Amino acid sequence: MAGIEKRLEAYRNRFRLDGKVALVLGAASGIGKAAAESLAALGATVICADKNKAGVENTAAEIAATGRTESHVVDASDAEAIHALAATIDSKHNRLDVAVSTPAVHVRKLMLDYTDEEYDRVVDLNLRGTFLFLRAFGRIMVRQRSGSLIASSSVRATTLEPGLAIYGATKAGIIQMVRGLASEVGPFGVRVNAIVPSIVDTALVAPLKARPEIWSKLASHTVFNRWARPDEVAAAVSFLASDAASYITGTALLVDGGWTTIDGAPSGLTETHRG
Tens-digit pLDDT profile for residues 197-220: 999 988 777 777 778 888 898 899
Active site amino acids: 167
- pLDDT digit string (tens) for 225-234? 999 999 999 9
Q: Which residue has the higher pLDDT, 263 or 142?
A: 142
The confidence band for 274, taking pLDDT boundaries of 50, 70 and 90, is very low
Comparing C-alpha atoms, which of 264, 161, 163, 160 is closest to residue 221? 264
Count of residues in the chain: 275
The confidence band for 267, taking pLDDT boundaries of 50, 70 and 90, is low
Class (C level, CATH) for 12-199+229-255: alpha beta
Model pLDDT, residue 265: 62
Whether pLDDT at 113 is above 90: yes
The confidence band for 270, taking pLDDT boundaries of 50, 70 and 90, is very low
Model pLDDT, residue 273: 43
Q: In what order do the strands lie in the sheet with 98-101?
A: 69-73, 45-50, 21-25, 98-101, 147-152, 190-197, 252-255
Whether pLDDT at 44 is above 60: yes
Model pLDDT, residue 275: 41
pTM (2 d.p.): 0.93
Model pLDDT, residue 246: 98
**Residue 47 is inside which H or E element, if any?**
strand 45-50
Q: Tell me the C-alpha distance between 51 and 36, whole Å.
A: 15
Model pLDDT, residue 209: 75
Mean residue pLDDT of the chain comes to: 93
- pLDDT digit string (tens) for 238-261? 999 999 999 999 999 999 999 999
Q: Where are the domains of the chain?
A: 12-199+229-255
